[in-house]
Structure 1
Amino acid sequence: MINTLIGDIGHASVIVAFVAAIVSSYAYFMASRAKVEATGDNSWRNLARGAFYVHGAAVLLVVFALFNIIYEHRYEYYYAWSHSSNHLPVYYMISCFWEGQEGSFLLWIFWHVLLGVVLMNSGKKNKMWEAPVMAMFSFVQLFLTSMILGVVIGDVKIGSSPFILMRDFMTDAPVFAMDPNFVPQDGTGLNPLLQNYWMVIHPPTLFLGFAATLVPFAFAMAGLWKGKFTEWVKPALPWSHFAAGILGVGIIMGAYWAYETLNFGGYWNWDPVENAVYIPWLVLVGAIHTMIAFRRGKSGLKASYILVISSFLLILYATFLTRSGILGNASVHSFTDLGLSGQLFAYLAAFAVLAIGLLVYKWKSIPTTEKELSTYNGEFWVFIGAAVLCLAGFQVLVTTSIPVYNSFLGFIGIESNAALPADQIEHYTKFQLWAGVGIALLTGIGQLLWWQKGEKTKSSFLDSIMLPGMLTLLFASLIIVLSKLGAFPETVDNPVYITLLVAALFAVFANLSIILNLLHKKVSLSGGAVSHIGIALMLIGILFSSGYSNIISQNTSGMLYSREFPEEINRDNVLLWRNTPVEMDKYTVSYHGQYLEVKDVPEYVNRELLFPTADEYKAIARADIKVNDKVYFKTGDTLELHSPENTYYKVEYKEREGDDQFTLYPRAQVNPNMGLLASPDIKHFADKDLYSHVSSVPDPSEEKDWGELQEYEVAAGDTIILNDYVAVFNGIEPIKEVPGVVLGEGDVAVQADMKIYGERKDYHAHPVLMIKDQMMGRLPEEIADLGLRITFLNIDTENNRFKIGVNATQKDYIILKAMEKPLVNVLWIGTILMAVGFTMAIVRRNQEGPGAAKAPRPKKPRKVQAA
């Protein structure tokens, strides 16, 4: 019988978490009423707290139960079967947890629990905010928990449970009709593209960013609800920094995963799912700037409300886009629809109506200032910067939402076939590039005016801008001149690119001058300048690594590899026959065979040294497996493979006019459902990356086309010619073990000893001839480097001669694409600086005094004397 205890515990815990969220939300709502606050009655608050702790404990139990069914390979559960397999290491089992929709929702819920506990225990300074803020938190948890509830009431399904059994999910499968207790022996496994360490840390970071956007939203809603229109900004601001910093780092983690795992040659492809996360991040960063402006100059409060609320609603909209199935085939990252599209829309609509309705209702009560902002005022440029960020997000939002327009029009009976741009990268870049120019300039100008001392006039501004401006022109000119001298693959002469370069350099030097001026005051004051330098460096890194990426694997042979290949493969790739050097740009490149990843061996192992067994995750060593003279496995040892479906192709690079020499191992897998899945290997230099990936390989599922068998009769010491290679037959020797074969009493096995002289190295072949159970068997030796298969055919014991058979085939090859990505490290360095700047800003905001920003007092009307 199937043991369903752990699943029952998990499902029951989801129900408990859902009910507790309802109780906590209602109790916190009651605790927030003015009458309760006036009397000091804490009974509702204590009930709400207790319910939230119960909710948190239930969520932890759900997390434990779900991971348990994955870790223990409980394939009676559909979630475990569809996302994991027997041979996955533990760290990839963690990735299995959030590969599915239900697991990712649970991750999001988990982060909300932790953030809620922190808010409830943040001390006296936020005590007055606990009830209204946590009421919003609990209300959000109610909706999120409903997504994994998995309850059917009549014809209505609420949520999708991760604890559904295979037999209940696949009710039409014949195997369950025959045996309701059938349990598969193995799962389908984790998506091969997700088997990467970045997929272990990127999703939790990203979902923490998602969760953290709720905190400033909850404070803003609490401020509207309780009429504390200005006080909410102070506690919300450090959380906004935290959310933007974590979300930004999570986005870049995903970009680096794409850079290291996917083969499109970049880190950002303007995929709708990528865009859906990018948009709320831009808006949230804009909100931070308007909140800071309000803290200083009492202006921009309404804008802060709009942007903080919008950032959270855009997170919900991103969730709807990626999980409702509405994107269809428009994105390679989106989830399939689990029947939750109605719930997801209700989730989005509920908070949109609640937030926008409350904002409209309280709009006239939100205090404003009549203070006029001059062009030499820092707050003015902060608002302009926030506007540019929002416009950049709006442009991406409008295009990304095209599938939503089509769906909505279809719903009301209007047919629409609007499509996303054919070249999405060009479409978005032509707008976002100019947004980058504006952001870079504004971060420089705004910071200089923000920290300007004394009277803010034209002359004082010109004085502060003089040195950064001169350094900008100097360094921009130097870069352009160096590019003309060949420092970069291409000359920097594109006017648009030069404009972005100048703007980004100005941002670096302007903010650097701010940091130098603030060092004698307090280091934490410079957090904004540090993050702005990080953003500027990211723009420079993006400019050069994308705008001046250089494909060095141009096909100069004049040969068309295949008419079935796209033009790009025939034009931008080089064909590498095994062990045949080819000149490519300034390198001599050669391909040296297929390698596998073996457990407990620090380097990849040549596939030719491994004899396959019936278990694809195990192999037998044909020879000693050693690295740097250290033997890890001896001949005949059984060893385990990490991922037998992944093949690593050894490619050696050598500079023709230098001493630089290195080896790369790009990975590829021919997946029966997804085709060729290729991941690059990257050689990192200080000023660039050399990015190499396999574009095509011989299909391993197809039988090799071996030529006609050529037979040779030889004696020990004879020399023969095998397909233009000289070979020496040294003789035979008996063996006691045959890889993959169990020899019984009376069975005999011998192997031939042959040496073949290749162009670059010598090879030893040991084909086996055996008699097992009075039947003759042969185990040929294949030398892929030479395209030879050698078979020990027979022994003439009377004349002491031996018959050897040889087949020849086309040599192994790969088609390789290689490109240089200049200054890509500047992008990653900029990301780190951006995160450091956000961290400094969080520390600074938490250290600020207890005083809250106060609403500007309305001016008293002047008395008019009667005539």
Structure 2
Amino acid sequence: MINTLIGDIGHASVIVAFVAAVVSSYAYFMAARNRTEASGDTSWRNFARIAFYVHSAAVLLIIFSLFNIIYEHRYEYYYAWSHSSNHLPLHFMISCFWEGQEGSFLLWIFWHVVLGIALIGFGRKNKVWEAPVMAMFSFVQLFLTSMILGVVIGDLKIGSSPFILMRDFMSDAPVFAMDPNFVPQDGTGLNPLLQNYWMVIHPPTLFLGFAATLVPFAFAMAGLWKGKFTEWVKPALPWTHFAAVTLGVGTIMGAYWAYETLNFGGYWNWDPVENAVYIPWLVLVGAIHTMVAYRRSKQGLRASFILVIATFILILYATFLTRSGILGNASVHSFTDLGLSGQLFTYLAAFAVMAVALLIYRWKKIPATQKELSTYNAEFWVFIGAAVLCLAGFQVFATTSIPVYNSFMGFIGFETNIALPADQIEHYTKFQLWAGVAIAVLTGIGQLLWWKKADKQSFKDAITMPLMLTLLFSSLIIILSNRFDIFDFKLDNPVYITLFVTSLFAVFANLSIILGLLHKKITLSGGAVSHIGVALMLLGILFSSGYSNIISQNNSGLLYSREFSDELNRDNVLLWRNEAIDMDKYSVSYRGQFFEVSDVPEYVSKELIFRTADEYMAIARGDIKVGDKVYFKTGDTIELPSPENTYYQLEYKEREGNNSFVLYPRAQVNESMGLLASPDIKSFATKDLYTHVSSIPDPNEEKDWGELKEYDVAAGDTLIINDYIAIINGIEPIKQVPGVQMAAGDVAVQADIKVMGEKKTYHAHPIFLIKDQMVGRLPEEVEDLGLRITFMNIDPENNRFKIGVNATQKDYVILKAMEKPFVNVLWIGSIIMSIGFIMAIFRRNEEGNPKPKKTSKPQSKREVQAV
């Protein structure tokens, strides 16, 4: 029987959350308009707070209800069935929560609740801002909560409910016509590519960044609304830093997930979904710079308004891009359309029109400083830097929006078919690279001018040492890379040299600032620290992408398949099982297929596993041990936590030296998605060796076995099978047969055959079975040798038996491997950049909450009289 109680609670909570958001938004609006608050009338404010707290409680109840249907495997609900399955561990169940659109919207709503409560706490200390800021916050929550309402009025659909039942979502399915209460026994499961620990922490971090961009936007809108054109910057600035660091860290997490999970060979593919996050982050960082400039010199206020507003609108635009289905043919990982594209556009348009209209209406009243900016003025370079960031974002925005432009033109009756660039990576990189050069130069010059006197001589004194160090180190690296074999690359590309030199300059210039501030207060150097992080990221991107070296070149002169792309035939090597091949400085061998086994710390060879009807359960065909420790004995039942995944053992040996290591790239053949391959990475001090499987024999295709050859043998015989020496050790009775329930009167015997391969010796144990007076044969396959050995018959009177042998093509993989120099510099740089942002947050908070000055001890009456 279907239990709908938890779904009813969840759906009712959505309605309560929506209504409470409407009430809170209206009450805060009235509180902001109420001129009697100054005299103590806080009724609207108190009512608004209560409404927001009710909204918050309802959101938590929605989250509890949705996670409950996932955790308890309530497959009567479509969301649980379509995103989870019985065997997912808890951390992947958490990922299931936000895999779907409804869950990700709910995650976004949750972070707004957390930030809203924090802002109410801030508002208690500074009551000027609570009402107008929270009015905007609640208004956004109104729109977001409507996305999960799931209300249908005629042809109008408002939101998509995560609590819809299977029988309602798939009402046309024949199974529900026969049984309206049908509940599936298992779900379809989590997307295999999302079964990664980064997917547990990356989306929450990214959505916290999305949510945090609302805070400076709300302060800016409150400033425009209430005429506090200058006061909003101070309370908004720490939140802007917080939004930048969380959005940036979330983006880097996504890049690292792609690096170790996807097989396109890197961490950034300029996919539209990636771009949709990158663009607002660039604009947000530009906003930080203009806001900081205004705090110092009262310049750039209008620019700050524009960039803060643009950031939030771009977040909404990114939401529209990724969720409306408009990128269906342009992106590999955007959401599918749930029929909410009109509602998403309304959400975007409402805030864009409101923000832009209010900004235009108040534009002339926004103070503007007419102070002339000279070349040696720090603010001048700050504004140039913000402009470069925005231009870099605009280039990505313009190209990413081509599908939107085509769709809009078609909507108004004009047919356009502007195509995205054929090579998008080259298209974006050729502009973004020069943007990186400009950013590196500006972060160095801007910081030197910011902390030094704005005059020619002081600037010359400040820049001399960083320039000298830059020239010294860059010259040394360029000479070493081109004249000696210290590095695996030659730094001879003029464009790359330019980015390298300017990034190095940024490091030394900002390092000189940090050293100069050590005797003052450490938090003052947050900007310099973050700029060093950015410079290191540029260096890491330069070397890991610009000098990525494919070492798996096909030098055989043969095409693996005419159906393969030229790139796959050119940049991949074919590895037959146990046959070593030279690949750059390595000798590489494919050693076989392995699986992940619960409670075993290493992968286990497929040869030791007998699969059962339950794909998650198997039987150990031999002792499973790591080192000297035995984890499972022969015949034990074992659990496979990810039975779809096969790990391919690759042994790398240095041809000149004794070093060797083993990698286990992962692959699975998915019915709807084809081959899903994830790389394995060997990290060295100066590079990563990135390896992934490009092609494997289709495991769903029946192998093409050759003609069966029969041999009449006895214990102790030696014979040649398919060019391999085989020794017949004998036969022995067995009491248990893997996967077969033995009954009284059933008989089973197995042959013990030793086959001498090129690299090692294999033991084959084909089984001959008599069950219920019927003969059964369980052959043994030696995949390394491409052999299948069958126990055909037994002659007990003459102590002889018959075996049959088939041969097939040996197992193989097609492999791609590349070296990525200094990619760790990118990850280290991102950490340093984040530390700099956090230092800046602490500094801005200290500025916003100055410690009270110590007052001197009151003078005594006698002292006063003496004076």
State if a TM-score over 0.5 links the two structures: yes
Q: Which residue of 1 aligns with 2:864?
A: none
- Secondary structure in 2 aligned to 1:344? helix
Task: Render the CA deviation track for 1:23-44: whole Å, top value 9, x for unaligned.
Answer: 1001111111141323321111
Alignment of structure 1 residues 497-646 onto 2, 5 Å: 497-646=496-645
Q: Is the 8 A contact 2:514 2:528 kept in 1?
A: yes
Task: Render the CA deviation track for 1:48-74: whole Å, top value 9, x for unaligned.
Answer: 000000000000000010011111111
Q: Which amino acid in structure 2 is aligned with residue 281 of structure 1?
A: W
Indicate whether 1:324 and 2:317 are aligned.
no
Name the CA distance, whole Å, in 2 between partners of 1:806 and 1:326: 56
Q: Is the 8 A contact 2:123 2:129 kept in 1?
A: no
* Offset, 1:850: 4.8
- Secondary structure in 2 aligned to 1:420? coil
Name the CA distance, whole Å, in 2 between partners of 1:71 and 1:474: 60
Task: Render the CA deviation track for 1:125-170: whole Å, top value 9, x for unaligned.
Answer: 4322111111100000000000000011232111000000111111
Q: Which residue of 1 aligns with 2:858?
A: none
Name the CA distance, whole Å, in 2 between partners of 1:502 and 1:149: 54
- Secondary structure in 2 aligned to 1:328? coil
Indicate whether 1:114 and 2:114 are aligned.
yes
Q: Which residue of 1 aligns with 2:25?
A: 25
Q: Is the 8 A contact 1:527 1:840 kept in 2?
A: yes
Q: Which residue of 2 aligns with 1:236?
A: 236
Task: Render the CA deviation track for 1:771-822: whole Å, top value 9, x for unaligned.
Answer: 1111111111111011111111111111111111111111100011000000
Q: Is the 8 A contact 2:689 2:820 kept in 1?
A: yes
Q: Which amino acid in structure 1 is aligned with residue 451 of structure 2?
A: W
Q: Which amino acid in structure 2 is aligned with residue 675 of structure 1?
A: G
- Secondary structure in 1 aligned to 2:420? coil
* Offset, 1:629: 1.4
Q: Which residue of 2 aligns with 1:64?
A: 64
Q: Which amino acid in structure 2 is aligned with residue 155 of structure 1?
A: D
* Offset, 1:171: 1.5
Q: Which amino acid in structure 2 is aligned with residue 598 of structure 1?
A: V
Q: Which residue of 1 aligns with 2:73?
A: 73
Name the CA distance, whole Å, in 2 between partners of 1:601 and 1:141: 47
Q: Which residue of 1 aligns with 2:282?
A: 282
Name the CA distance, whole Å, in 1 between partners of 2:597 and 2:218: 50
Name the CA distance, whole Å, in 1 between partners of 2:200 and 2:764: 43
* Offset, 1:462: 1.2
- Secondary structure in 2 aligned to 1:122? helix
Name the CA distance, whole Å, in 1 between partners of 2:34 and 2:616: 66
Specify every segment of 5 or more residues in structure 1 that has no aligned partner in the other structure, as ranges. Answer: 853-867
Residue 849 to residue 339, structure 1, CA distance change in 2 (3 Å): closer
Name the CA distance, whole Å, in 1 between partners of 2:531 and 2:124: 33
Name the CA distance, whole Å, in 1 between partners of 2:126 and 2:293: 22
Name the CA distance, whole Å, in 1 between partners of 2:848 and 2:802: 92
Q: Which residue of 1 aligns with 2:164?
A: 164
Task: Render the CA deviation track for 1:294-318: whole Å, top value 9, x for unaligned.
Answer: 0000000000000000000000000
Q: Which amino acid in structure 1 is aligned with residue 108 of structure 2?
A: W
Name the CA distance, whole Å, in 2 between partners of 1:349 and 1:318: 13
- Secondary structure in 1 aligned to 2:582? strand
Task: Render the CA deviation track for 1:225-284: whole Å, top value 9, x for unaligned.
Answer: 111111100110000000000000000100001110111101101111111110000000
Moved more, 456-465 or 766-775: 456-465
Residue 312 to residue 177, structure 1, CA distance change in 2 (3 Å): same
Task: Render the CA deviation track for 1:478-510: whole Å, top value 9, x for unaligned.
Answer: 111121122333311111111100110000000
Indicate whether 1:359 and 2:354 are aligned.
no
Name the CA distance, whole Å, in 1 between partners of 2:836 and 2:843: 11
Q: Is the 8 A contact 2:235 2:848 kept in 1?
A: no
Alignment of structure 1 residues 138-153 onto 2, 5 Å: 138-153=138-153
* Offset, 1:124: 4.7
Name the CA distance, whole Å, in 2 between partners of 1:155 and 1:329: 27
Q: Which residue of 1 aligns with 2:478?
A: 480
Q: Which residue of 2 aligns with 1:412?
A: 412
Q: Which residue of 2 aligns with 1:707?
A: 706
Q: Which residue of 1 aligns with 2:457?
A: 459
Q: Which residue of 2 aligns with 1:792?
A: 791
Q: Is the 8 A contact 2:474 2:501 kept in 1?
A: yes
Alignment of structure 1 residues 412-431 onto 2, 5 Å: 412-431=412-431
Indicate whether 1:468 and 2:466 are aligned.
yes
Specify every segment of 5 or more residues in structure 2 that has no aligned partner in the other structure, as ranges. Answer: 852-867
Alignment of structure 1 residues 659-738 onto 2, 5 Å: 659-738=658-737
Q: Is the 8 A contact 1:63 1:106 kept in 2?
A: yes
Name the CA distance, whole Å, in 2 between partners of 1:206 and 1:233: 24
Name the CA distance, whole Å, in 2 between partners of 1:682 and 1:7: 43
Q: Which residue of 2 aligns with 1:861?
A: none
Q: Which residue of 2 aligns with 1:443?
A: 443
Q: Which amino acid in structure 1 is aligned with residue 56 of structure 2?
A: G
Q: Which residue of 2 aligns with 1:350?
A: 350
Across the two proteins, how many residue pairs are aligned to each other?
850
Residue 31 to residue 334, structure 1, CA distance change in 2 (3 Å): same
Instruction: Give the CA RMSD over aligned residues.
Output: 1.0
- Secondary structure in 1 aligned to 2:339? coil
Q: Which residue of 2 aligns with 1:769?
A: 768
Q: Which amino acid in structure 2 is aligned with residue 514 of structure 1?
A: I
Q: Is the 8 A contact 1:30 1:36 kept in 2?
A: no
Q: Which amino acid in structure 2 is aligned with residue 119 of structure 1?
A: L
Name the CA distance, whole Å, in 2 between partners of 1:326 and 1:734: 65
* Offset, 1:627: 0.6
Q: Which amino acid in structure 2 is aligned with residue 268 of structure 1?
A: W
* Offset, 1:123: 6.0
Name the CA distance, whole Å, in 2 between partners of 1:558 and 1:30: 77
Indicate whether 1:11 and 2:30 are aligned.
no
Q: Which amino acid in structure 2 is aligned with residue 104 of structure 1?
A: S
Task: Render the CA deviation track for 1:157-193: whole Å, top value 9, x for unaligned.
Answer: 1100000011111111111111111111111111111
Name the CA distance, whole Å, in 2 between partners of 1:390 and 1:412: 29
Task: Render the CA deviation track for 1:558-598: whole Å, top value 9, x for unaligned.
Answer: 22211111111111111110001111100000000000111
Task: Render the CA deviation track for 1:726-749: whole Å, top value 9, x for unaligned.
Answer: 111011111110000011001111
Q: Which residue of 2 aligns with 1:35?
A: 35
Q: Which amino acid in structure 1 is aligned with residue 791 of structure 2?
A: F
Q: Is the 8 A contact 1:126 1:235 kept in 2?
A: no
- Secondary structure in 1 aligned to 2:36? helix
Name the CA distance, whole Å, in 2 between partners of 1:415 and 1:713: 75
Name the CA distance, whole Å, in 1 between partners of 2:398 and 2:123: 42
Alignment of structure 1 residues 249-398 onto 2, 5 Å: 249-398=249-398
Q: Which residue of 2 aligns with 1:490?
A: 489
Q: Is the 8 A contact 2:544 2:823 kept in 1?
A: yes
Q: Which amino acid in structure 2 is aligned with residue 471 of structure 1?
A: L
Name the CA distance, whole Å, in 2 between partners of 1:258 and 1:370: 47
* Offset, 1:700: 0.5
- Secondary structure in 1 aligned to 2:329? helix
Q: Is the 8 A contact 2:234 2:848 kept in 1?
A: no
- Secondary structure in 1 aligned to 2:35? helix
* Offset, 1:121: 1.0
Name the CA distance, whole Å, in 1 between partners of 2:3 and 2:124: 48
Q: Is the 8 A contact 2:123 2:130 kept in 1?
A: no
- Secondary structure in 2 aligned to 1:121? helix
Name the CA distance, whole Å, in 1 between partners of 2:802 and 2:850: 96
Name the CA distance, whole Å, in 1 between partners of 2:455 and 2:42: 54
Name the CA distance, whole Å, in 1 between partners of 2:28 and 2:790: 80
Name the CA distance, whole Å, in 2 between partners of 1:262 and 1:603: 22
